[in-house]
Structures are given as structure tokens and as C-alpha cells.
Amino acid sequence: MTKFRDKSISFTHLIPATALVPVFLGIFQEGIPDAVIRAGLFLSGSLICLLAFLGEREQRRRWRDFADDICGTVDALMDGRAPENSHPCEDSQEARVQGKLLQYYDWMQECQRQSRQERQTLKELVSDISHQVKTPLANIQMFASILRQRRLDENKREEFLTTIAEQAQKLDFLMQSLIKMSRLETGILVMHMENNRLCDTIAQALSGILALAEQKGIGIDVSCGSDLMVWHDVKWTAEAIGNILDNGVKYTPKGGRISISVCPWQFYTRVDIADTGMGIAAEHYNDVFQRFYRTRDAAALPGVGLGLYLARSIVARQRGYITVKSEIGKGTVFSVFLPNGAE
Amino acid sequence: MDIVTIHALKKYFGRGPGQVKALDGVELSIEKGRFTAIVGASGSGKTTLLNMIGGLYQPTEGSVTVDGMDLARLTEEELTVFRRRKVGFVFQDYNLAPELTIRENILLPLLMDEARPDGIFFSEITGLLGLKEKLDAFPHMLSGGGQQCAAIARALITRPSIILADEPTGSLDGKTGQSVAGLLKMTAEYFHQTLIMITHSEELAQLADRVVRLQDGRIVQ
């Protein structure tokens, strides 16, 4: 700004300084004998000086008006009111700067709103989790109390102890998920993005579900180039793919099939995870990624409705996305899109 | 906070028995910073609705307010400035100037506004869209997907309040279309932009935070 002002002063002073030359020539130059020419030089020089003076005054006035407008806008924004005389769609430099200031103010407001929303989400998350924790805790307390107070036969005892163990397992799962979710939601989780072999990540994801798949007689086939390198966080991507696979195994009947295929595209690498499970109705495609959402058909099976929510959050943190395509009774395909490139 | 508010919007083309009711009483609010997909069959009024949000058409009845401005109250000159500064357009057929390089195409909206480019922002956008190596190439030297990425960068460069994408994947094959839609979503999220995209693909609509369905000029969902 200072630089500009210095420049402007030197420029505005250059014109009258130059104009003074004919003025002095008109007064003092004896080499110009004609009085009319001398008078003409004097008058034209004086006129240029006058015009330069008026021009400079006008320029100063314009700058003052511009500064007043901008200061007025900033003052209004600081007071939380709409700026007066704001014409963001006027084709002028004042309007352009004013528009940018308003945009900046909006952006600040938006950041504040997002921060409030994040706090609210976290509050809801804690509330959701505590609600989810209540049932297994109550079950553990109830069965423990029965075991302590009543004499039960060995079979009944075993049954109650198994229930307690299952409920404790559910609690443990919920707690683990809570930790992961809170780290994702609060943004404190740092993704370690590196160029890694995607087939290794898929193998890591598969390791968590192989036992259950074998138990249910579900066949698994994988089609992924062994040398395909993709920019991703191995641990968290394996968690995301693992959650989708876990979902697939859970909702695919005995003897079904799960297929994983990888296809490198121009901008993304697509990982399709297809199962031959019960399928999802089209109107629930977005719902299945919501926290604690479970379709009516899935409610009878174990699970809390966090896996897909976590999977989507993890993939989104890596600037990727997940889509779903399904047919009721035939199966579902979840497609994970991981961006190519090391940006 | 809503960035677009549409109230009782009607847009009729022509008169008499041949009159076409492109939009017939649309009520819609779009939240700032969100990705909204507008879906519907051909002739349902999707493009008319998008063009009205972009200030390209004047309503027959009703109002369209974008970023606090009632578009019907703006003069033609103000609407031009509105489109230049507040809206980023992404079209189906890219609309890149063939005689300009990718760099020049991206910077074109800033030149029209006599604004100086922000080097860091330019570098960020081109990096995200994978254009850094192609900045000195001409549009015909790029694939369809690459050209659409350049068009997205051009839409983002002025930091507009809203990005309007009219079937941005319509000229691309399924794979590239899916990728470009993903990139559009990702960049809009990254720069906290409001994105409104027209699509007839249910698969692409899944990427949006909200899906608006149009049928015969009315919102059905």
C-alpha cells in the first residue's frame, strides 16, 4: 500500500512539474520574442497545472471514498449487521473488494457453524454410544445377579455365562468403535498416506473375516494385481474394507460368495466388494452409512450399525468415496474409490 | 444457513396452447457448503432450474435468492457480474476455449474480472485435479476427463459462492464420469463450496449429501 502511495505521489507530481517548464518559458524565455507565443505557453502550462491539481484532488477523493466504503463494510461486519450501500454485483473495484470481504465474513461464519456442528455431532455420538452401551450392561448385570442369587443347573449356568461373555464382547466392540469414531470425528486421526501394494491391504482386511466366512461356508475370491500400488493409509483402509467384508459375511447366507475385484482407473482405483447376501433396498442406500442404522431385515442378526459408517468416514478422510448398488435377494456391491496420485 | 432459496418458482416458455411449463411451482432451499444432486428424467426441468439459480433465466413467477440476492431485482449488467463472481459453471461439453492453453482457460474468469490470480490457490486446485503436468497443453490434447477437470478448475478459480454442474459426466464414459463426479465432490468439499449437480444417474446421485427429484417441473422428493 505504501509503495503504491509513493508511486502515485511521484506520478501526480510529474505532470505539474513538466507543465511548469512552458510556464517558466512563457515568463522568462527571452529567446521567444513573440509575446503571444509566450502568453500561450504560460496559459497552457498554467492550465495543465490546474488540471493536474484538480485531477489529483479527485483521485484523493476517490481513494478516500473507497477507503470509507471498505472501512464501513468492515465496521458493519464487526458489528454483525449487513453493510449499507453494498452492491456486490456492481462492476466496480469497490464492489469487488466489498464482495470479497463479505465472502470472507461468510466463510468465517461457516467455520464457526461447522465447529458448533462438530461439537453437536460429538455430543450426539456420546449420547448414542451411552444409549447403545446400556443394553449389554443391563444384560450383564441381570445375568450376573441371577447367577449369584439362584442355584441353577449346569446347562443354565453355562448358557448365562455365554450370554455374559457375548454381551461383554459387544461392549468391547462398542468401546473400540467409540475410540475410532471419536478420533475420526474430531479430526485428530492422522492418515499415514503412502504408495502401498493394495493387495496387501486387502489381504490384511480379509484376515479378520476368514474364520467366520469358513464357518458359514462362504467362498471368497479376490482379483487384484499383485504389483498395483495405490496412495493410501494401509491400516485404516484395511479397517474400512474389513468392515464392508464383515458386513458381507454377516448378511450372506451359508454357502454364499464374496468377490473382491480391483480396477485401476484414470483418477481413482476402484475396489468392488460384491456379496450374494440379502441385498439393500435402493431407498436405504444412503441410510446404511448412517451411524447405528440397521435395516429391519438386518436387525435380527448381530451387529450395531457402525461398520459402514466408519468405512465411509475413513475413505472420505483419504479423499475417496464409497457407493453401493444392490438387488434384494441377490446381493450387494460396495465400491470403494481411492484417489490415485500423491497429492 | 441456506445459500439458495427458491419460492413458488414458475418458468414457462412460449404462449398459448404450445406453452411449456418447465418449472411449475418449485419450493427449494439449499444449505451452504453442501452437495445437492438434482435428478429427473429428460424434460423434467432440471437444466431450467439450474439456469435459474445461475441467473441465466428470469422467472415467470416466484423468486430465486442466491447468497442473499434476489436475482429478479438485478439488472442485466449486475447479473453478468453475479455470474462472473458468484457462480462457477461446469457444463456437459466442458466449454473450454480451444485456442487457449489449459492454464489460460483456468485463469480466464479472473482475466475477465481484471483480478490477479492467487498462485497458491491455483497450484492447489491444479494439484488436486491432476492438471499440474498439463497446464501448457491445449484442450484437444487432453482426454475428456482431463478437459472436464480443467473446466472444474476454471469454475473454482474465482472462489465462487456456488458451483453449478449441468450433467458434468454426460459426455464421458461410465468410468471417467464416475471419477470426474468424485473429483468434483472432493474439490467442492475441500474448498467448502456449495455444489449443485444435475445428473440422471442414480449411482452418481449417491455421492451427494442431498438428492432432489424433479418430475414435470415439480419437486417430488
Chain-chain contact of B78 with A343 (C-beta, under 8 angstroms): no
Number of domains forming the structure of chain B: 1
User: Edge-to-edge, what's the strand order for the sheet holding B2-13?
Assistant: B20-31, B2-13, B61-66, B69-70
Q: Of A283, A244, A271, A293, which is closest to residue B202 (Cα–Cα)?
A: A283
Interface residues on B facing A, Cβ-Cβ cutoff 8 A: 1, 32-33, 67, 69, 74, 77-82, 85-86, 113, 115, 127-128, 130, 143, 145, 149, 159, 161, 175-176, 178-180, 182-183, 185-186, 190, 192, 202-203, 206-207
What are the chain B neighbours of A282 within 8 Å (beta carbons)? 202
Per-residue pLDDT tens over the stretch B88-103: 999 999 999 999 999 9
Per-residue pLDDT tens over the stretch B92-134: 999 999 999 999 999 999 988 888 889 999 998 998 888 999 9
Length of chain A: 343
ipTM: 0.75
Do the beta carbons of residue B2 and residue B176 sit within 8 Å? no
- A113: contact with B, CB 8 A cutoff: yes
Sorted by where each begins, the domain ranges of chain A are 2-85, 123-185, 194-339
**Domain A123-185, what architecture?**
Orthogonal Bundle (1.10)
Give the long-range contacts of residues A112-120, CB within 8 A, separation 24 or more. A113/B1, A114/B33, A118/A185, A118/A186
Residues in CB range of B220: below 8 A, 6 or more apart: B213, B214
Chain-chain contact of B182 with A95 (C-beta, under 8 angstroms): no
How many other C-beta atoms are found inside a 10 Å radius of the C-beta of residue B85? 24
φ, ψ dihedrals at A64, nearest 5° = -65, -45
- A123: contact with B, CB 8 A cutoff: no
Inter-CA distances, B35 with A102, B41, B160, B162, B186, Å: 22, 20, 15, 10, 10
Q: Each residue's pLDDT tens digit in chain A (343 positions)? A: 444 444 455 556 676 677 677 667 666 666 667 777 777 877 887 888 888 888 889 989 988 888 888 888 888 888 888 777 777 778 888 888 888 888 888 888 888 887 888 788 778 777 877 777 888 888 889 888 888 887 788 888 888 899 899 888 888 888 887 777 777 776 667 788 989 999 999 999 999 889 889 989 999 999 998 889 999 999 999 999 999 999 899 889 999 999 999 998 878 899 999 999 988 888 788 788 887 777 777 666 666 678 898 899 899 889 899 999 999 989 999 999 998 865 4
C-alpha cell at B102: 489449459
How many other C-beta atoms are found inside a 10 Å radius of the C-beta of residue A3? 7
Partner residue opposite A266 with nearest CB, options B159, B176, B203: B176
Give the 3-state secondary structure of residue A250: helix
φ, ψ dihedrals at A109, nearest 5° = -60, -40
Calpha distance A104→A92 (Å, rounded)? 18
Calpha distance A329→A326 (Å, rounded)? 9
Q: Of A227, A269, A218, A270, which is closest to residue A245 (Cα–Cα)?
A: A218
Annotation: CATH topology of A194-339: Heat Shock Protein 90 (3.30.565)
pLDDT value of position A1: 40
- Residue B18, domain member (yes or no): no
Do the beta carbons of residue B9 and residue B26 sit within 8 Å? yes
- Residue B130, domain member (yes or no): yes
Lowest mean pLDDT among A90-94, B43-47, B212-216: A90-94
pLDDT value of position B66: 94
Chain-chain contact of A267 with B77 (C-beta, under 8 angstroms): no
Nearest-Cα residue of chain B relative to residue A316: B186
- Residue B169, domain member (yes or no): yes
Mutate to test the interface with B, among A77, A87, A89 (most CBs of B within 10 A): A89
- Residue B19, domain member (yes or no): no
- CATH value at residue B119: 3.40.50.300
**What is the CB-side half-sphere exposure of residue A92 using CA atoms within 13 A?**
11
Triad A109, A115, A118: Cα angle to 5°: 140
- A116: contact with B, CB 8 A cutoff: no
**What is the CB-side half-sphere exposure of residue A29 using CA atoms within 13 A?**
19
